[in-house]
A and B are shown apart, each in its own frame.
Chain A
Amino acid sequence: MKHKRRERWLGFLILLPSIILLGLFVYGFIAWTGIVSVSKWDGVTPDYSFAGLTWYKGLFTAVGGISHRRFVIDLWNTLFFTIFFLLICVAIGLLLAILLDQKVKAEGIFRTIYLFPMSLSFVVTGVVWQWIFAPGTATRPRGLNALFTQIGLENLTWKWYTSTDSIGPFHVALIPVIIAAAWQLIGYTMAMYLAGLRGIPEELREAARVDGATEVQIYRHVVLPLLSPITLSALIVLGHISLKIFDLVYTMTGKGTGFVTDVPGIFMFETTFRGNHYAQGAAISMVMLFMVALVIVPYLRYSLKREVEL
C-alpha cells in the first residue's frame, strides 16, 4: 500500500503516547528498579548511593542480613510449584480436551464448568481453597479433614498447607496451593488444546482411519504431534504465571511457618512495602524478572518470527 508521507507520520504520532508510556513504565521502571537493587536504600527515605551487588549476594548467602535463607527456600518452592503445576495443568487439560472432543452431549456445559475458574480473582480462589484445606486440629478437624473423618477415612487427614514436613527441599505444604492454582488454570490449558484439536482437519484423521489405524493410534501418531506447538505455548504462559505468582499464595497461606509456602513475589512485597527494605526488594524483583525473561524472550521471538513466515 502506498500512503502519503503525512499519513504515515500521523500513524506514528497516534502510536507515540503508548510507546512513551510503555517505554517509561516498563523499560524505564525496570532500569530504575535495577538501580535501586544496587543502592543502599534500606528505609523509608530513598538512598541511591552505590552498594554494588551486596543485596544480590545477601539473597543467596547467609551473611548477616535479614532473613538470609528465605530466598533460597523461595526458589526451591518456585521450582517445585512450577514443575507440578505445569504437569497437572497440561496432563488434565489435555485429557479434558480429548474427552470433550469425542462428540459428547452437553459439551458446552462441561466446557463452561471447567473454564469458569479463569473468570475469578486469585483472591477469591485463595479464600475458598483456604477453607477447604484448613486442617483444624486432631479433635476438631476442619475442611477436607472433617469430611474424611466423617466418612471414616481418618488416615487421609493431614496438616495440608500448615505442614512443615518436606521431602528433600520440597515442602509438602505446597501441594494444596498447587491444587488450587491448577484448579484455576486447567480450564485454560483445556481451551487451548480444544482450539488446537478443532483446527486439525478431519481428513487427516479420516485418512489414518482408512489406513486401518485405531482411535488410540490416531491420537498417538497424528493428533498429539500436531498439538506440540500448543503444549509449548501452554508451558510458557503457565510457566511465567507460576514464576511470578503472588495473589493466590498470599491470600491462601501467606509465607507459611518456616517459609514452607513462601514465593519470591511474597518476599518482595513484604520486605519492600511492609519492611521498607527497598534495595533488597528491588534485587528480588530483578531476579524474578530475569527468570521470566529467560522463558518469555525466546518465546516472543519464536512466535513472532513464525507469524512473519506464515
Chain B
Amino acid sequence: MSRAFNPTRIAIYLLLILFAAIFLLPVYVMLISSLKTFAEVQDLSRMWSLPSAFNIENFRSAWFGIPEKGLRGLGPNLINSILLTVPATLISSFMGSLNGYILSKWKFRGSEVIFPLMLFGMFIPYQSTLIPLTQTLSAVGLGGTLWGLIIVHIIYGLPITTLIFRNYYAEVPNDLVEAGSIDGAGLLGIYWRIMFPLSLPGFVVVVIWQFTNIWNEFLFAVTILQKPELQPITVALQNLSGSQIKEWNVVMAGALLSALPTLLIYILLGRFFIRGLLAGSVKG
C-alpha cells in the first residue's frame, strides 16, 4: 500500500509515539524507582536507569511501613480508602439514580429550577464549605470519623450522579413509562420494574466515576481526618512523601499502590470511564 509510505502519515505516527512516550514517562519513573534498593535510588547518576535487580521489598515497606525509621505503612490506609469509597459510591449512585428518574420522568413545577441549583454544587470550590462542614460534623459527633467523610462524599457526589442519570433516563422513551402506568404500576413500580433494570450501563458509568473521584480525593479527607490511622491512602501518601527522610523507592511503591485500583478500573473499563468524564461537562 502506498499510503503506508506517505510522509504525512509517518509524521502523524511519529508525533503520536512521541506524545505517548511523554505521557508514559512518569509511569517509567514510578516503576523503576519502586523496584530499586534505597542505596540504588540514592545513586543520582543512575536515576533514570533500569533497576539492577527486581526488588519488591519496597512494596512490602510501603504496605507495612518501616517502624525503625518511623515510616508508617500505607496498608491500613488503603483499607480505609476501600471502607470509604465503596459505601459512598454505592449510596450516592443509588440516590442519584432516583433523583435522575424523578427529574427526567416526573417533572413537577419548580423541578427545572431545582436541577441547576443542585448542579452548581459540583463546581464550587469546596474550600467555601470546609469551615461550616468541620463545625457541623463535630457538632453531630462525626468529626474526625470515616463515617463523617463518607456522608460528605455522598452529599457532594449527588450533583454529578443526578446529572448523569437524568441525562441517561431522558433517553428512555416516555412510552415505556406510559406503558408501565397503564399496567397499573406507580412511580416506584415503574422505577423498579422498568427503569432500574434498564439503567445498568448507567450505573456502571456512575459507579466507576464516583469510585475514581472518591478514591482520589484529598481536600475533604485531609481536612476532616486528623488521625493518621483513619486517613485514606491519598492523605497517607502525601504524608509519606512529605516525611523527613525521603525514601523515594518506598514513596514510589506507595504511589503505585495508591494508583493501582483506579488505574485497573480505567484499563479494564475505559469506555465507561470516558462516558462519565464527558458527562461532567454538563450537556447530556
Q: A140 to B55, alpha carbons, bound, how many Å?
A: 25
Q: Do A3 and B123 touch (CB < 8 A)? A: no
Q: Do A292 and B129 touch (CB < 8 A)? A: no
Q: How does the 8 Å CB contact mask read for B242-256 relative to A, with 1 for contact and 0 for none?
A: 000000100110010
| B201 contacts chain A at the CB level, 8 A cutoff | no
| A240 contacts chain B at the CB level, 8 A cutoff | yes
Tell me which of A69-77, A119-127, A156-164 binds B. A119-127
Contact with A123, one of B19, B114, B133, B237 (Cβ below 8 angstroms) = B237
| A306 contacts chain B at the CB level, 8 A cutoff | yes
Contacting residues, chain A, for B274 (C-beta < 8 A):
115, 191
Contact with A119, one of B47, B114, B188, B212 (Cβ below 8 angstroms) = B212
Q: Do B29 and A150 touch (CB < 8 A)? A: no
Contacting residues, chain B, for A269 (C-beta < 8 A):
127, 219, 222-223
Q: Do A146 and B48 touch (CB < 8 A)? A: yes
Q: How does the 8 Å CB contact mask read for B1-27 relative to A, with 1 for contact and 0 for none?
A: 000000001001101100110111110
Q: How does the 8 Å CB contact mask read for A77-116 relative to B, with 1 for contact and 0 for none?
A: 0000000000000001001100110101000001011111
List the B residue with the shortest CB-CB distance to A143.
B47
3 tightest CB-CB pairs across the interface, nearest first?
Answer: A121-B216, A244-B125, A119-B266
| B200 contacts chain A at the CB level, 8 A cutoff | no
| A55 contacts chain B at the CB level, 8 A cutoff | no
Q: Do A115 and B19 touch (CB < 8 A)? A: no
With contacts A273-B223, A296-B123 taken as known, whether A120 is within 8 angstroms of B216 at the C-beta atoms is: yes
| A167 contacts chain B at the CB level, 8 A cutoff | no
Q: A195 to B117, alpha carbons, bound, how many Å?
A: 27
Q: How does the 8 Å CB contact mask read for B38-50 relative to A, with 1 for contact and 0 for none?
A: 0000001101100
Contact with B129, one of A26, A100, A143 (Cβ below 8 angstroms) = A26
Most buried by B among A95, A112, A131, A246: A131
Q: Do A289 and B99 touch (CB < 8 A)? A: no
| A142 contacts chain B at the CB level, 8 A cutoff | yes
**Chain B interface helix/strand/loop/mixed:** helix
Supplied contacts A22-B121, A131-B29, A273-B130, 17 more A-B pairs, CB within 8 Å: A25-B129, A46-B135, A99-B15, A104-B13, A110-B20, A114-B23, A118-B266, A118-B273, A121-B217, A132-B25, A141-B44, A183-B23, A233-B282, A250-B218, A269-B223, A304-B116, A307-B283
Tell me which of A5-13, A169-177, A217-225 binds B. A5-13
Contacting residues, chain B, for A132 (C-beta < 8 A):
25-26, 29
A-B contact pairs, 20 of them (CB 8 A): A12-B108, A22-B118, A25-B152, A28-B132, A29-B136, A99-B12, A115-B270, A121-B218, A121-B259, A124-B255, A124-B259, A127-B241, A191-B274, A234-B281, A244-B126, A282-B131, A285-B127, A289-B125, A299-B282, A306-B283
Q: A292 to B216, alpha carbons, bound, how many Å?
A: 22
Q: A78 to B265, alpha carbons, bound, how many Å?
A: 33
Q: Do A244 and B127 touch (CB < 8 A)? A: yes
List the A residue with the shortest CB-CB distance to B30.
A128
Contact with B23, one of A30, A32, A113 (Cβ below 8 angstroms) = A113
Tell me the residues in window 257-284 of chain B with beta carbons closer than 8 Å to chain A beta carbons: 258-259, 262-263, 265-267, 270, 273-274, 277-278, 280-284
Closest-CB distance, B267 to chain A (whole angstroms) = 7
List the A residue with the shortest CB-CB distance to B254.
A127
Tell me which of B65-73, B141-149, B155-163 binds A. B155-163
| B103 contacts chain A at the CB level, 8 A cutoff | yes
List the B residue with the shortest CB-CB distance to A31.
B132
Q: Do B219 and A233 touch (CB < 8 A)? A: no
Contacting residues, chain A, for B112 (C-beta < 8 A):
308
Contact with B127, one of A26, A124, A265 (Cβ below 8 angstroms) = A265
Q: How large is the interface on A (under 10, 10 to 19, 20 to 34, 35 or more residues)?
A: 35 or more
List the B residue with the shortest CB-CB distance to A128.
B26
With contacts A113-B24, A269-B223 taken as known, whether A119 is within 8 angstroms of B265 at the C-beta atoms is: yes
Number of B residues contacting the other chain (C-beta, 8 Å)? 97
| B64 contacts chain A at the CB level, 8 A cutoff | no
Most buried by A among B22, B25, B128: B128
Contacting residues, chain B, for A136 (C-beta < 8 A):
44
| A208 contacts chain B at the CB level, 8 A cutoff | no
| B230 contacts chain A at the CB level, 8 A cutoff | no
Q: Do B219 and A246 touch (CB < 8 A)? A: yes
| B82 contacts chain A at the CB level, 8 A cutoff | no
**Chain A interface helix/strand/loop/mixed:** helix
Contact with A281, one of B105, B123, B131 (Cβ below 8 angstroms) = B131
Q: Do A25 and B133 touch (CB < 8 A)? A: yes
Contacting residues, chain B, for A303 (C-beta < 8 A):
282-283
Q: A236 to B123, alpha carbons, bound, how many Å?
A: 10
With contacts A25-B155, A131-B33 taken as known, whether A292 is within 8 angstroms of B123 at the C-beta atoms is: yes
Contacting residues, chain B, for A92 (C-beta < 8 A):
19
Q: Do B263 and A116 touch (CB < 8 A)? A: yes
| A15 contacts chain B at the CB level, 8 A cutoff | yes
Q: A292 to B125, alpha carbons, bound, how many Å?
A: 7
Contact with B119, one of A123, A142, A286, A300 (Cβ below 8 angstroms) = A300
Q: Do A140 and B44 touch (CB < 8 A)? A: yes
Q: A291 to B274, alpha carbons, bound, how many Å?
A: 28
Q: A250 to B242, alpha carbons, bound, how many Å?
A: 10
Contacting residues, chain A, for B223 (C-beta < 8 A):
269, 273
Q: Do B259 and A297 touch (CB < 8 A)? A: no
Most buried by B among A18, A191, A247: A18
Q: A14 to B267, alpha carbons, bound, how many Å?
A: 36
Closest-CB distance, B24 to chain A (whole angstroms) = 6
